[in-house]
Copies of this chain bind each other. A is one copy, B any other.
Amino acid sequence: MDFTLSPDTEALRRRVKQFIDDIVIPRESEDLWTQPERLDEIRRELQAQAKAAELYLPHLPKALGGLGLNWSDTAVIFEEAGRSLLGPRALNAAAPDDGNMRTLSHWGTPAQHARWLKPLLAGDIRSCFAMTEPAPGAGSDPSALLTVASKVPGGWRINGRKWFITGAEGASLAIVLARTDAGATMFLVDTSNPGFRLGRAMRTMDSFAVGGHSELAFVDCEVGDDDVLGEINRGFHHAQYRLAPARVTHCMRFLGAAVRAVEITQRYVTQRQSFGRVLSDHQAVQTQLADCHIEIRAARLMVAHTAWELDHLEPTAVKHGSSMTKVFVSETVHRVIDRCMQLCGGWGTTEESMLAHLYADVRPFRIYDGPSEVHRASIAKRVLNRSMRP
């Protein structure tokens, strides 16, 4: 085993850290929460700066204009970027565009690449991934999918409802998962299609998702045969292909959020006095801070290991590890930020400390990409069926 970063990766990490500290963090103004429309403008400005700094699309192949990092190095860079909730966006490495670009790149035709992938890579357009449905449709259990695509001459007609569709407002493209005759299929839907209806924005607790989270309706939404992404009836398979790395990239980014929370907290507790001593002299503060460091180290190793698996194993072989990492990291990150908020007292509950934002943005991660409960059940079934050693 070898835990060294290559000098190149370490150098890149430092440049990203500098970029986040100097360029991105100053843009986390408190107005964002109430002016969501500003988020997309800031995204464009930051992406221009990231391009100039040659930090853009770090995780994508050089052929796509990226820096060509493997998963192990991506983990390091995404964590640095994740120190700001604006950071991954700045590098065009945020969900859902990130996963959508990978999906398009892997399954798309040259024509689809030209029409959708290219402007996505450039940051000229945004996209959303339309899978989740209101009850009784597809939630944690994708097989409950209710949206239907029926074959029509020359194409398909899609009908159904979606919700919690991140980034939908302002997106040019929706990748839609719909039921077809013998499974599910992915479709590329131009959001200017009259059958695509953007519904209400859902008021969720997080606030840094560009384009929010929306309800969508597909009403006799017609698309062409050339709008099928990948193979017909292989949509669940393609979605799985997307999800395993997607949940790991979330882990990478949110780990950075936990690191940021600890940085904020260390500054606070070494300055603020209480009961005649600086806060950091109180052992109850030290204890909680130590736990933050210990758990972040463990979480970082879990991420690094799964990143290594993504680099070296077949995607199906990574499922087990990515489930374990997702549970561990999402719960660790929440616990770390919760402790940080406690240590920063009243100030920590305000937006100006950023902790209230970090706290709120991280909480849903224990639910999406598979709630901890669902992952635990599948981890257990896997180890019991295969008598896997712990």
Contact = CB atoms under 8 A, between A and B. Distances in A.
A323 to B, nearest CB: 9
Contacts of A3: 1, 304-305, 308-309
A204 B293 CA distance: 26
A266 B301 contact: no
A379 B341 contact: no
Taking each of A348, A379, A388, which has the highest tally of chain B beta carbons within 10 Å of its own beta carbon? A379
A225 to B, nearest CB: 33
A259 B280 CA distance: 32
Contacts of A384: 266, 269-270, 280, 286, 289
Given A2-B2, A139-B346, A383-B266, A290 B376 contact: yes
Contacts of A272: 135-136, 139
A206 B341 CA distance: 14
Given A328-B298, A342-B367, A350 B202 contact: yes
Interface stretch (A56-64, A167-175, A182-190, A356-364): A356-364
Nearest to A334: B338
A345 B294 contact: no
A302 to B, nearest CB: 6
A305 to B, nearest CB: 6
A326 B72 CA distance: 26
Contacts of A291: 376
Instruction: Give the bracket for the number of chain A residues in contact with chain B.
Output: 35 or more
- Taken together, the copies of this chain in the complex come to 4
A389 B274 CA distance: 24
A126 to B, nearest CB: 21
Nearest to A31: B203
A349 B287 contact: no
Interface in A332-383: 341-342, 345-346, 348-352, 356, 359-360, 363-364, 366-368, 371-373, 375-377, 379-381, 383
A285 interface: yes
A203 B293 contact: no
A367 B271 CA distance: 18
Given A132-B346, A280-B384, A284-B373, 4 more contacts: A1-B72, A34-B34, A282-B283, A349-B367
Interface of A: 1-5, 30, 33-34, 72, 132, 135-136, 139-141, 144, 163-164, 202-206, 258-259, 262-263, 266, 269-276, 280, 282-287, 289-299, 301-302, 304-305, 307-309, 312, 321, 324, 327-328, 341-342, 345-346, 348-352, 356, 359-360, 363-364, 366-368, 371-373, 375-377, 379-381, 383-384, 387-390
